[in-house]
Amino acid sequence: MTQTYPQDTLVVGLAQIAPVWLDRAGTMSKILNQVRVASEAGCHLVAFGEGLLPGYPFWIERTNGAVFNSPMQKEIHAHYMDQAVQIEAGHLDSLCAAAKEFGMTVILGCIERPLDRGGHSLYASLVYVDADGAIQSVHRKLMPTYEERLTWSPGDGHGLRTHRLGAFTVGALNCWENWMPLARAALYGMGEDLHVALWPGGAHNTRDNTRFVALESRSYVLSVSGLMRPEDFPKGTPHLSAILNDGAGLLANGGSCIAGPDGQWIVEPLVGEEKLIVAELAHRHVREERQNFDPSGHYSRPDVLQLRINGQRQSSIAFDE
> Which of the residues 30, 43, 50, 100 is marked catalytic?
50
Instruction: Report how far apart, in Å, the C-alpha atoms of 252 and of each of 106, 129, 279 are.
Output: 22, 26, 23
Q: How far is CA 253 from CA 82, 130, 227, 240, 315, in A?
A: 26, 29, 5, 19, 36
Beta-strand ranges (E) seen in 252-311 are 252-259, 265-271, 275-282
Name the catalytic one among 148, 175, 192, 289.
175
* Interatomic CA distance for residues 234 and 21, integer angstroms: 7
Q: How far apart are CA 64 and CA 246, in angstroms?
A: 13
Q: Does 141 qualify as catalytic in the annotation?
A: yes
Q: Is 231 a catalytic residue?
A: no
Helix (H) or strand (E) holding 120: none
Q: Which helix (H) or strand (E) holds 153?
A: none
What 8-state DSSP symbol labels residue 149?
Answer: G
Active-site residue identified among 30, 43, 112, 141: 141
Q: What is the dihedral of CA 164, 166, 167, 173, to 10 degrees?
A: -40
- The sign one gets for the Cα dihedral 143, 13, 11, 286 is negative
Please list, in sequence order, all residues whose beta carbon lies within 8 angstroms of the beta carbon of residue 105, skipping any fewer than 6 positions away: 3, 44, 45, 46, 99, 128, 129, 130, 131, 163, 165, 170
Whether 30 sits among the annotated catalytic residues: the reply is no
> Is residue 35 helix, strand or coil?
helix
> Could you give the residue numbers annotated as active site?
50, 141, 175
